[in-house]
Structures are given as C-alpha cells and as structure tokens.
Amino acid sequence: MIGKTVLLLIVMLAGIADFCLAKSSQTADYSTAEGEEFVFAKTYPGGEKYGYQLWHKQLTGYRGTSLPYEEYVGRKGKIETTITYDPSQSRFISEKSKSKFRKAVLENGEVVYAYLVSNSLPDNIYLTEEVNRARSLIGQKIWVNNSRVVGSQVLITPDENLSYPTYNAEPLTVVDIFMSVYGHRRGRGAFSMRVRKSSGEEGLIKFYDRYFYTSNPIPPGTSQKVRRAIERQEVTMGMTKKEAVLSWGEPEKVNKSVGSWGVREQWVYGYNYLYFKNGKLTSWQTTN
C-alpha cells in the first residue's frame, strides 16, 4: 500500500514538473510571428549582473526573474501583442493593479515578455526600424528639443565627468550611430547618435524622437527676441502658441473660454501657467 502511494506521488510530482516546464518554456514560430523586430542591446560594464530587467520568461509581475544578460545579448526577436496581466494570484504586485506586458517571440522560437513602464518598452533593446531611421540621418542636421517639458539634453562622452551642454533648438550634425555604451552609467540606453556641435565638440545623444527635430523647428522670419527666448526655454509677450510649445513643450492641460472678446486659453504646466488671448501670449505665472 505504501509502495503504491509513493508511486502515485512520484507520478503526480512528475506531472506537476512537466506542467511547470511547459509553462516556462513556451515556444512559437518566429517565421510567422508578426510585430516589430528588435535586438537585445549591450549594457555598460558592470550592468551585466542585472540582466535584462523587466524581461521575463513568464507573466510573473515586474519583480520576476530578469533574463540573463550573457544568454540574451545580441539576440533578435519580434514584439507582438500587448497582454494585460491580472495579478490576483501573484505575490509580486498588488492585487488592486493590473500590469501590461508585450509578448515577444525570439529567433529560436522562445516566447518572453516585456513589462511595460508607462506603456513604454524597456530601453535595453533597440528596434531595427529605429536603427535604420537613425542611419538615414548620418550626415544630416538635427535640432535639439530642450523644451521645458523634455528637459535639457547634454552630449555625453567616454569621460563620465565631461559632457557638453546644448541649448534648445541647437543644430547638430549626425556623424554616426553608436550601438554600444560608454563605460559608465550615463551611457545607458538602447543606442545613440554621435553628433557634432558647430563649435566642433562631439558626443552622444540618445535616439529618442522626443529629444530632437529632423527639421529646424523655428520658422524663418522669427524675431531674434522670440528666438532667444526659445533657445533659453523662456517665454515672452506676444509669442504664438506654436512658439510657446517650442520653448515649454506641450501643456498638461488647456482651459479655454470663448466670448465676445474672442478666445482665451490657460495652459497648465504643473503649477506654472501660460495665458493666451486669440492665439497670442498675454501673461504667465511661474512658481519655479
């Protein structure tokens, strides 16, 4: 009787093990997978020990085990559908929240999942299409987006203590793309463009669309007063709404009133405000 019980227990445990193995080793046909092609990017020296954070083999919440760096660096895959994960059975995250993941199929058919932060993919991969777009910019000019909302960009260099500041809408020439990272944490990110300032200094800027324009954002004929204000992330009386966006970025909220006087708008940036009348800036209020 005891022997039969032990045998039954072994069979049950084997079944559970097979189930867990199957669950953690999902596969799919890469050739028929649809989605954006990507590559796991290199990291900075010392970052290898963290693996590919926010990437998991199972839907286990954002604190699940990361994919090991050495095993996945350079591997290709395709990003597929977005999955909403109900963590009611998970001990990793609050049952009151739901997490979103992107399913990905790798070249060998392995299925993995990327945890989305603010609906954005982790920055430890790069999309093949974006690399191709960056290559097309080599030899061309870009203009830095240092609007108040985006923040000021600096060009990083191999020396962690040396970087070059940029001003808003400053033109830069794209020299090359940089697929690796410098030997310090400031060099993190999927990939960068190596750019040159008009004064000759060179450094890297991350390839994020919101960090730069591909054409001069300041129209010809813009007054020097307005141009200087935009470059300094400032506003000045009489600015158009487009000029204000170049300087401060898109507002969080717009409150509008319409009357016999025309159209008045209040643009909200946290605790800072811009006020427009019929499309022209008439006043502003700042707390910092």
Is the Cβ–Cβ distance between 142 and 116 less than 8 Å?
no
CA–CA distance, 254 with 275 (Å, rounded to integer): 10
pLDDT of residue 16: 43
DSSP 3-state of 19: helix
CA–CA distance, 165 with 144 (Å, rounded to integer): 11
User: Considering all CA atoms of the chain, what is the largest pairwise distance in Å, rounded to the nearest integer?
Assistant: 95
pLDDT > 90 fraction of the chain, expressed in percent and rounded: 52
CA–CA distance, 224 with 221 (Å, rounded to integer): 9
CA 204 → CA 88, 102, 125, 162, distances in Å?
43, 29, 17, 12
pLDDT of residue 170: 97
pLDDT of residue 4: 53
User: Does pLDDT of 163 surpass 50?
Assistant: yes
pLDDT of residue 2: 54
pLDDT of residue 182: 61
pLDDT of residue 7: 46
pLDDT in tens, 82-141: 777 655 544 444 334 467 888 899 999 999 998 887 777 787 888 999 999 999 999 999
Domains within the chain, CATH numbers bracketed? 26-122 (no CATH), 136-213 (2.30.30), 224-285 (3.30.1450.10)
pTM to 2 decimal places: 0.74
pLDDT in tens, 170-227: 999 999 998 876 655 554 556 889 999 999 999 999 888 889 999 999 999 999 999 9
pLDDT of residue 80: 86
pLDDT of residue 215: 96
pLDDT of residue 106: 96
